[in-house]
A and B are shown apart, each in its own frame.
Chain A
Amino acid sequence: GENVEQHPSTLSVQEGDSAVIKCTYSDSASNYFPWYKQELGKRPQLIIDIRSNVGEKKDQRIAVTLNKTAKHFSLHITETQPEDSAVYFCAARGSYIPTFGRGTSLIVHP
């Protein structure tokens, strides 16, 4: 089955800095890569996703890049704000079952 590795497990940045979270996957058949943000005590919510026929996608301060050859994808957050503090999960999905990374706790210091 699919295996998703996510790094780092914790990321601490100053407000205004950029943050990068990286994930690798094992199954070359995976073709959909979403990112979820989970605030404390809340459900994970989709913030951005990318499909395997696209190399990069942006949405305001958030971007995701995908390298299919290397089987890795990354989340980039620019101009971080305190409200970006949360746990972020990457996932990979082939036919239908999504597999999640273990999560990255992002802390943005004011």
Chain B
Amino acid sequence: DAGITQSPRHKVTETGTPVTLRCHQTENHRYMYWYRQDPGHGLRLIHYSYGVKDTDKGEVSDGYSVSRSKTEDFLLTLESATSSQTSVYFCATHDVGEKLFFGSGTQLSVL
């Protein structure tokens, strides 16, 4: 597998608290993505990045923000977590024309 590490692997938090998930890659891939996975919905794109400081919204971006200050790190922030954001979050990366690789995922529970 490509060197993609997500942290934390599991997190339980309370409604209204800020949460940051981290994706770290050692592949020097240009493109990075955050997806959420929910039963019956598959993998839905939250935000993506096509280079350092270059990010854009996906189909389910409301309530989320991202930052990419270095090639290897892509952070996903929930400014004020809600129960609807309970999900499994996957980071994925690829380079130009290359295959997409996923991190191990973060299970987030918002109580």
Contacts and interface: CB of A to CB of B under 8 A. Distances in A.
Are A and B subunits of one complex? yes
Interface of A: 1, 6, 9, 32, 34, 36, 42-46, 49, 89, 91, 93, 96-103
Contact of B90 (A32, A44, A96): A44
Interface of B: 1, 31, 33, 35, 40-45, 48, 50, 59, 90, 92, 94, 96-97, 99-105
B103 to A, nearest CB: 7
A10 to B, nearest CB: 11
A1 B44 CA distance: 13
Q: Which DSSP category, helix, strand, loop or mixed, fits chain A's interface?
A: strand
A100 B48 contact: no
A97 to B, nearest CB: 6
Q: Which DSSP category, helix, strand, loop or mixed, fits chain B's interface?
A: strand
Contacts of A91: 100
25 contacts: A1-B59, A6-B42, A32-B97, A34-B100, A42-B104, A43-B102, A43-B103, A43-B104, A45-B102, A46-B99, A46-B100, A46-B101, A49-B99, A96-B31, A96-B50, A97-B45, A97-B48, A98-B33, A98-B100, A99-B45, A100-B35, A100-B43, A100-B44, A102-B42, A103-B43
